[in-house]
């Protein structure tokens, strides 16, 4: 039975960043459900926008994004629509428009060969015995058992590692539904849509490489019906859909309490969305995936006596920041508060007559 210093479950942005940072310092194995062939296997349903905090993580690491992960166009504002009050505002946002699947594959490509990576792998069983973590996983047509000193759950919203560590723990979940259309709008745009008649979270749209992506986070019950109803309501404010070319679905977490953030125990750690590290106000998680991976890599390389306690302490600032996002979420999803904020015009960028004309055409 092979033994490793660290086993990482999941190679999204959090797991891939951690594996890259630990390479050469520790003996690492990483399991990922995406296939080696980029056109097959699991693809994360995601609008694909890289927030400023994520950009800063790459700056700290001295990494620049290659052109193949970028998408067209780059847009610097978000058209925010309150469907119920019929108020629209334009807010500046410095996102980078990216191809999310290409981004994930590029992140994996940065992992040095010293890390043992299994693609198209499925973790089947996890348990702790004699001071070590034991894993059974299937990959390449066979089942393998290993042991490790440190176990890391970077396996997203439905984290198996989180369920093993905290079997009774629940975080508020939504069903994220997203569809791709041929873009029929005269001018590309991003949007953020609030409509409490269909969801108490929010919806979004993104123009990307000639496509128009529309998605939203909905309560699991009647999610498809509410998704369809919101599309119908948006047609009255010049959203053009047509025939859906592709439909996507996944679970997304939306933390609502401080206790939703869980860091791990007994030399097992949670990073990224597996830990509940995702913005409740925007459902953006790549920033916190990269930040938590960076924090954990420094701790594991230093190998302190109680690594879990150190990780909890060093992620305190990150968790406080995410608590602020929970407060912001409550403001934005409460109709009368949202209406007051948008009516105030705070941070709104008024359109010139030329901009108004283009938005009317769109």
CB 344 within 8 A of CB 211: no
Confidence of residue 310 (pLDDT cuts 50, 70, 90): very high
Asked if pLDDT for residue 353 goes beyond 80, the answer is no
The rounded distance, in Å, linking the Cα atoms of 250 and 122 is: 18
Looking at domain 77-98+172-254+330-361, which CATH architecture does it have? Answer: 2-Layer Sandwich (3.30)
Residue 39 has pLDDT above 70, yes or no: no
How deeply is 131 buried, as exposed, middle or buried, from its count of CB atoms within 10 A (0-12, 13-18, 19+)? exposed
DSSP classification of residue 303: -
pLDDT band at 166 (very low <50, low <70, confident <90, very high): very high
Q: How far is CA 215 from CA 190, 224, 259, in A?
A: 12, 11, 28
105: Cβ contacts below 8 Å, ≥ 6 apart: 34, 38
pLDDT value of position 351: 78
Name the phi and psi angles at 237, rounded to 5.
-115, 35
Give the residue-averaged pLDDT of 323-340.
96
Reported as a single tens digit per residue, the pLDDT across 169-205 is 999 999 999 999 999 999 999 999 999 999 999 999 9
Q: What is the end-to-end Cα distance of the chain in Å, rounded? A: 61
Section 208-236 average pLDDT: 96
Contact 115, 28 (CB under 8 A): yes
Mean pLDDT of 316-323: 98
What is the structure's pLDDT at 358?
A: 61
What is the average pLDDT across 60-67?
Answer: 96
Residues of the chain with pLDDT > 70: what percent?
Answer: 96
Residue 40 pLDDT level (bands cut at 50, 70, 90): low
* pLDDT of 362 above 60: no
User: What's the pTM?
Assistant: 0.94
Average confidence (pLDDT) over 157-171: 96
Q: What is the pLDDT of residues 267-281, one digit of tens each?
A: 999 999 999 999 999
* 85 touches 342 (CB < 8 A): yes
Give the residues across from 248 on adjacent strands. Answer: 178
DSSP 290: H
**Predicted pLDDT at 357:** 65
What average pLDDT does the segment 47-51 reach? 93
CA–CA separation, 160 and 185 (whole Å): 41
d(CA 275, CA 227): 28
Region 114-125: mean pLDDT is 95
Unique residue bearing structure tokens 């030329």: 354
Listed in order, the ranges of the chain carrying CATH 3.30.9.10 are 77-98+172-254+330-361
pLDDT of residue 47: 87
Task: For residue 333, say if its preceding peptide bond is cis, omega within 30 degrees of 0.
Answer: no
pLDDT (0 to 100) of residue 7: 98
- In CATH terms, 2-48+100-171+256-327 corresponds, of 3.50.50.60, 2.60.40.10, 3.30.1490.20, 3.40.1280.30, to 3.50.50.60
Can you give the pLDDT at residue 51? 96
Q: Predicted confidence band at 37 (pLDDT cuts at 50, 70, 90)?
A: low
Average pLDDT over residues 270-297: 97
In the chain, CATH 3.50.50.60 covers 2-48+100-171+256-327
pLDDT band, very low/low/confident/very high, at 257 (cuts 50, 70, 90): very high
Is residue 34 very low, low, confident or very high in pLDDT (cuts 50, 70, 90)?
Answer: confident
Are 9 and 154 in contact by the 8 Å Cβ rule? The answer is yes
Helix or strand holding residue 56 (H, E): helix 52-61
DSSP 8-state secondary structure symbol assigned to residue 112: -
The mean pLDDT of 324-337, rounded to a whole number, is 96
| Cα separation, 156 vs 13, whole angstroms | 10
For residues 34 and 56, the answer to whether their CB atoms sit within 8 Å is: no
Confidence of residue 45 (pLDDT cuts 50, 70, 90): confident
In terms of C-beta density within 10 A (0-12 exposed, 13-18 middle, 19 or more buried), how is residue 296 classed? buried
| Strands, E assignment, 119-210 | 122-129, 132-139, 142-153, 173-182, 190-194, 203-208
CA distance 19 to 112: 8
Q: Which two tokens stand for residue 148?
A: 């490790």
pLDDT tier at 62 (50, 70, 90 boundaries)?
very high
């Amino acid at each position: 039975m092979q033994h490793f210093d660290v086993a990482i479950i999941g190679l999204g942005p959090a797991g891939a960043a951690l594996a890259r940072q630990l390479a050469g310092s520790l003996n690492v194995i990483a399991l990922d459900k995406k296939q080696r062939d980029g056109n097959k296997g699991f693809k994360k349903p995601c609008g694909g926008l890289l927030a400023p905090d994520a950009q800063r993580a790459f700056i700290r690491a001295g990494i620049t994004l290659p052109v193949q992960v970028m998408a067209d166009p780059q847009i610097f504002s978000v058209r925010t629509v309150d469907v119920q009050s019929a108020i629209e505002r334009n807010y500046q946002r410095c996102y980078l428009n990216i191809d999310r699947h290409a981004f994930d594959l590029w992140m994996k490509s940065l992992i040095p060969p010293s890390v043992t990576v299994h693609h198209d792998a499925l973790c089947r069983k996890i348990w702790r015995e004699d001071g070590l973590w034991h894993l059974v996983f299937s990959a390449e047509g066979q089942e393998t058992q290993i042991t490790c000193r440190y176990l890391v759950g970077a396996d997203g919203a439905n984290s198996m590692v989180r369920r093993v560590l905290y079997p009774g723990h629940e975080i508020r979940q939504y069903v994220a539904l997203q569809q791709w259309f041929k873009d029929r709008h005269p001018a590309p745009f991003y949007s953020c849509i609030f409509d409490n008649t269909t969801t108490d979270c929010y919806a979004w749209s993104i123009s990307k490489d000639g496509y128009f992506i529309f998605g939203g986070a909905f309560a699991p019950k009647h999610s498809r019906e509410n998704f369809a109803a919101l599309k119908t309501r948006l047609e009255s404010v010049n959203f053009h859909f047509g025939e859906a070319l592709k439909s996507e679905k996944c679970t997304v977490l939306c933390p609502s309490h401080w206790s939703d953030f869980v860091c791990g125990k007994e030399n097992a750690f949670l990073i990224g969305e597996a830990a509940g590290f995702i913005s409740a106000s925007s459902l953006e998680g790549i920033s916190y995936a990269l930040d938590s991976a960076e924090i954990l890599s420094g701790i594991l390389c230093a190998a302190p006596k109680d690594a879990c306690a150190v990780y909890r302490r060093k992620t305190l600032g990150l968790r406080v920041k995410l608590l602020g996002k929970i407060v912001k979420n409550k403001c934005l999803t409460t109709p009368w508060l949202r209406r007051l904020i948008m009516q105030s015009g705070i941070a709104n960028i008024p359109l010139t007559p030329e901009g108004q004309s283009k938005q009317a055409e769109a």
